[in-house]
Structure 1
Amino acid sequence: MNESSSLLTLTLGPIAHGGHTVARHDDRVVFVRHGLPGETVRVRLSDAAPQARFWRGDVVEVLEAGPDRQEHPWSDACALDAARAGRAPVGGAEFGHVSLPAQRRLKAQVLAEQLQRLAGVQLETTVEAVDDDADRGLQWRTRMAFAVTPDGRLGMHAHRSEEILPIRSMPLASPPIQELALWDLQWQGIARVEVAAPANGTQPLLILWPVEGLQEKEQGRALKRAVAQIPEGVSAAVMDPGSQQLLRWRGRSWVKESANGFEYRVTGEGFWQIHRKAPQTLMDAALGFLGDGGFLPEGAAVADLYAGAGLFTAPLAAAVGEQGSVLSVEGSPGTSRDARKNFHGNPWVEIVQGKVERVLRRHPRTLDAVIIDPPRAGAGKAVVQQLVASGPRAIAYVSCDPASFARDVGLFAAAGWELSGLRAFDLYPNTHHLETVALMTPGR
């Protein structure tokens, strides 16, 4: 396909799951990024095989802009700036061209469409802001992962590409991460740089992934050069390419996180919500559904599934007290070890490492209430069936993906359960992602 045939003029249709708008060309569906419904744009096709069921493309010129279009706050991720410069935009801020109120409306539309299509549920939900719009949806990420270009510059991948593009800034990163100015440093011999800077202001941590295949001495020199340029007061750890073990290099290999007065140790490779206000927001929503509904009486038997380091385990343990019991299940061995350290003083909390479906199958029990926070793939049929069999009066379901969430709502519905409450939060401003917290209860 030559340059002229790879460009189309399209009028964009509705938003779709994944952050694309849907357009049509000669009876073929084209999924278009960086546009808005109703706009007329020039699109460069990125995936347009003749036999493909649908094509993909990116906006490179806006002919008729929609009223919700704004100037993108990050040039490296701006599709129009990238097109003018003859490069691709980096991923990570694909909604930056959309005003924040409109971003939330689009996300609400996607959530409603997925619930209708996959679960047969008619429900309109407002996507709630967790920050003042005056900050333009910037400076919220407390965790970042960067690639490194062949010449040692910090970079990020282009969308759906292995190409690494150098970056000069990262406006979505929190101020403590921006102050490190990692993009101004040299990273020869390093393949990946991760940074965690807790919102509570405690010591940040960098994790360095050496380039695979380096000789031991060469790798050691690369790590020493990299760590020497990191400011004092920042911990550094190394992910060993062979063993996939995290090795402490300077300071400690974990960070101290906190939410609503609870403190957590989280290893560098462990999971923690990335928006600075996400832990408190999600804890308040999930515990609000269960607590306000009277589902967490003292002495209750409860569970925190896909528990990570125990974000929800801590308030559950406080709610049910020493006469109750909390089952906390996490699949990652490292993160499960964090949970053991975090709750070693709470004998009524049982920490189990393993896949949720296997743990529930091997150790069936009766539960009064449950919180689940599965990865993007959702809980799935086996877990839903096992949860229903455990007989809880309520389940708080925390989700980062509207499609897998809606599928699981449908699975619960097939088992006679109802979606009794739903809140949605804009915890990923300037991206197409959102977070939901739902209350699932047995049907009457």
Structure 2
Amino acid sequence: MNDKPDWTGSRLEVEVGSAAHGGHCVARHEGRVVFVRHALPGETVVVEITEDKGGGFCRGDAVEVRSAAAGRVTPPCPLADPARGTRRCGGCDWQHADGETQLELKSSVVTEQLRRIAGIDHPVEVRALPGGLLRWRSRARTAVDGEGRPGFRVHRSHEVIPITDCPITMEAAVGAVTSRDWSPDSEVEVTQDVDDEVHVTAHTRDPRRGRVKRASQRVQGGEFAREEAVGRSWNVSAHGFWQVHPAAADAFAATVARMAATPFGGTAWDLYAGVGLFASVLAEQVGPAGAVLAVESARSAVRDATANLSDLPQVGFRSGPVEKVLGGRDLGAADPDVVVLDPPRKGAGREVVEAISARRPTRIVHVACDPAALARDVGLFVEQGYRLGEIEAFDAFPMTHHVESLALLERDVDYAE
């Protein structure tokens, strides 16, 4: 029986503690944990409870700041301002913090996740990418409310808040969405590529197929977006996978290249390869006599990668879920010298980690956009006889709680199988 009070709608004054994974800080009130958004460590705030399912914790938004931290600033977007109460856009978590404070918060979260989940004490410093905190977002997906107005959803809610601008999104991209009305309850995808061409696709429910299936219509731009990275030109599906921050692809690829250091003539695997960004770097390292196996589940991405890397015959592609491909028989006889993996937000998981480790690569480069998932996977690799060599982390998503981390795992020579 749940004997905890339901605080939903209540306003409480709390002293804010450290930042936690997910874009909030931790406070305590009457023996319960309160996860507070739009606050900073060390502040005293009034928090309005937005979600309370009983038990030892609840969630809320800071609606009044009684004592502000040194790093607090006025959010550039009014939809992230405490003065609006709790009806705020759920896309940005840290607009109320200056740039230096955001880096400190993210660094503390990645470090804490490694310590808490993987049991590894490894301080991490998150570094900024060029370009500043605003107008970096080149890809976005907006919801549309019942009146046909585009917007973003409230945190942990289906409610759509209409927007007239989004300060973190490139101006031409957001303008292409906000300049018109859309079919009610639809979704709109927008991409602004390296040539500043804007691609817009609307997704609406198809009444002939029910509420689950959607009909898509290209509204603006072409089927492919052009991007540039690692000295190459890339044609990728307009709304397919590509880094959202314009500086991210080159920064991540350079870090992967340095960490991988694949021997000339060697063998490398690129798992969750997307359109082949890291495969291209590995291919240059192994040279024509080497081999790179790129594995990707999305057929459209494999199609794009095959076309973009047609000048690199040392790259071979496998289409399918990574765990199934690794469990198959067409991986080749040669064990990889290096494995690079860039799994989805949930991480790779035990099955994939064990399949990689069984082939005993000398180095593994793990790319992750979720610190908790990274820590879980790192812990699994340590169980398999690897040690964490280093981590490079980048603020590829300013104003949000997301952070991109690249971890180098090396085979532990002291490990006894």
Provide the TM-score with structure 2 as the length reference.
0.92
Using the alignment, how far apart are the partners of 1:202 and 1:437 within structure 2?
29
For the residue of structure 1 that corresponds to 2:87, the secondary structure is coil
| Residue 209 of structure 1 pairs with residue 203 of structure 2 | yes
1:423 pairs with 2:389? no
Q: Percent identity?
A: 38
Q: Distance in 1 between matches of 2:409 and 2:9?
A: 50
Gaps of 5+ in 1: 217-239
- The aligned counterpart of 2:36 is 32
* Residue identity matched to 1:206: V
Q: What is the alpha-carbon distance in structure 1 between the residues aligned to residue 129 and residue 397 of structure 2?
A: 10
Which amino acid in structure 2 is aligned with residue 313 of structure 1? A
Amino acid at match of 2:402: H
- Residue 139 of structure 1 is matched in structure 2 by 135
Q: Secondary structure at the match of 2:178?
A: helix
> How has the CA–CA distance of structure 1 residues 4 and 209 changed in structure 2, closer, same or farther, with 3 Å as cutoff?
closer
Shift of 1:5: 6.2
What does residue 197 of structure 1 align with? 192
Aligned to 1:7: 11
Q: Secondary structure at the match of 1:182?
A: helix
Tell whether 2:51 aligns with 1:56. Answer: no
Deviation sequence 1:133-167 (CA, Å, 0-9, x none): xx4x0011110111111111111100000001101
Deviation, 1:188, is: 3.1
Asked if 1:302 corresponds to 2:268, the answer is: yes
Alignment match, 1:81: 83
Gaps of 5+ in 2: none
- Are the structure 2 counterparts of residues 368 and 185 from structure 1 closer, same or farther at C-alpha, using a change threshold of 3 Å? same
Q: Using a 3 Å threshold, how does the CA distance of structure 1 residues 249 and 9 change in structure 2: closer, same or farther?
A: closer
Other-structure match for 1:283:
253
CA contact (8 A) 1:210 1:241 kept: no
Do structure 1's residue 355 and structure 2's residue 321 form an aligned pair?
Answer: yes
Deviation track 1:111-140 (CA, whole Å, cap 9, x = no partner) reads: 1111111111111121111125xx4x0011
Cα RMSD (Å): 2.3
| The 10-residue stretch of structure 1 (55-64 or 310-319) with the greater mean CA deviation from structure 2 | 310-319
Say which SS state the counterpart of residue 185 (structure 1) adopts.
coil
Residue 23 of structure 2 is aligned to residue 22 of structure 1: no
- Counterparts of 1:170-249 in structure 2 under 5 Å? 170-178=166-174, 180-189=175-184, 191-198=186-193, 200-201=194-195, 203-213=197-207, 242=213
Report the alpha carbon displacement of residue 340 of structure 1 after superposing the two structures with TM.
2.2
Cα deviation, 1:255-312, whole Å, max 9, x if unaligned, reads: 1222021222221342111111110110011111123xxxx22211111110111111
- Does the aligned pair in 2 maintain the 1:246–1:253 contact within 8 Å? no
Counterpart of 2:74 in structure 1 is 71
Query: Does the C-alpha gap of structure 1 residues 44 and 319 become closer, same or farther in structure 2, counting only changes over 3 Å?
Result: same
Tell me by how many angstroms 1:361 deviates: 1.0
Q: How many angstroms apart in 2 are the aligned matches of 1:139 and 1:64?
A: 30
Residues in 1 aligned to 2:20 and 2:220: alpha-carbon distance in whole angstroms? 45
SS of residue matched to 1:12: strand
CA deviations 1:343-396 (Å, max 9, x no partner) are: 334332111111111111113551111111111111111111111112211111
Q: Return the letter of the residue paired with 1:157.
A: R
Residue 21 of structure 2 aligns with an amino acid whose one-letter code is H
Match for 1:337 among 303, 321, 340? Answer: 303
Give the counterpart letter for 1:433 in structure 2. H
Residue 34 of structure 1, CA deviation: 0.6
Tell me the distance in 1 between the aligned counterparts of 2:6 and 2:342: 46
Partner of 1:127: 126
The number of residues matched between the two structures is 406
Shift in CA distance, 262/4, structure 1 to aligned 2, threshold 3 Å: closer
The answer (yes or no) to whether the contact 1:32–1:56 under 8 Å persists in 2 is yes
Residue 350 of structure 2 aligns with an amino acid whose one-letter code is K
Report the equivalent of 2:355: 386
Equivalent of 1:259, from 229, 237, 244?
229
1:264–1:310 Cα contact (<8 Å) kept = no
Tell me which residue corresponds to 1:227: none
Greater shift in the superposed pair: 337-346 or 379-388: 337-346
SS in 2 for 1:340: helix
Structure 1 runs (4+) deviating above 3 angstroms are 1-5, 244-251
Contact 1:12 1:39 in 2 (8 A): yes
Q: Does 1:272 align with 2:242?
A: yes
1:90 to partner: Cα distance: 0.6
Letter in 1 for 2:341: I
